[in-house]
Amino acid sequence: MSESDYSSDTLQDFTPEPAEARRVVVLISGNGSNLQALIDEQVHDRLGGEIVAVISNQADAYGLQRAREASIDAVALPHREYENREAYDGALIKVIERHEPDLVVLAGFMRILTPRFVQRFLGRLINIHPSLLPAYQGLHTHARALADGVAEHGCSVHYVTEELDGGPVLLQAAVEVADGETEESLKEKVHAREHLIYPIAVKWCLEGRLQFGDGGARFDGMPLPEQGLRMSHTDAAEELDEDIEDEE
């Protein structure tokens, strides 16, 4: 059939609707530096979707201001206004679902989530944790790593399951622990790596390259190992333009 067969006035006036962008809701509790890394990628059309809402359990979280400055719906939902964790998570589910997200991203959301919440968004709920999981689940990861004298630390993006910091790992970035490293200097290096890999993981989730299944996480259809995909210290340092000292 030739193009002339479609030349009616009605069809010439028709403008195809663009494919709807994949939708992201981000949950925060504080400063929102990882949120900013995601916003920056969205501004440059590299996120693979659109952040449609940022929700915080702290009304004064600076991350809400970051969202407003980016013209993203910013929602304060203070947890102290609810009688218990179950009531709060029930309200949070309603607010999130109002925005119909394809992916829910935890970016410094300092709340332990109820099983009901996790199950509602299982497979489309991710978090970033400041350690090379499964090492150092929980809090104070940098201090614990330094106390143990480890040679390598880092961060991990993982699917959220009912096991705290125990869901399938998607992507990691490593950092070598230098002689004389302090908790603050190590935290700064890990933060830089978080800002590097979290947008990548979000993009791959939105594109369907990273997927959740009964056997764990998969990348391009292939099962991932326990550590997920890992970016080495050298590769991360090069991406971040960090000085790499020659080692003996």
Could you write out the DSSP letters of every residue in 38-99?
HHHHHHTT-SSSEEEEEEESSTT-HHHHHHHHTT-EEEE--GGGSSSHHHHHHHHHHHHHHT
Mean pLDDT, consecutive 10-residue stretches, the chain (248 aa), reads: 42 54 97 98 97 98 98 98 98 98 98 97 98 97 98 98 96 97 98 98 98 93 96 97 63
So what's the pLDDT on residue 245? 57
So what's the pLDDT on residue 13? 52
- For the question of residue 129 being annotated catalytic, the response is yes
Q: In what order do the strands lie in the sheet with 229-231?
A: 73-76, 50-56, 23-28, 103-106, 125-129, 152-159, 169-176, 229-231
Q: Kindly name the residue from 129, 153, 158, 195 that is annotated as catalytic.
A: 129
Strand-pairing partners, residue 152, are 176
So what's the pLDDT on residue 248? 34
In angstroms, the CA 119 to CA 162 distance is 8
So what's the pLDDT on residue 215? 84
pTM of the model: 0.90
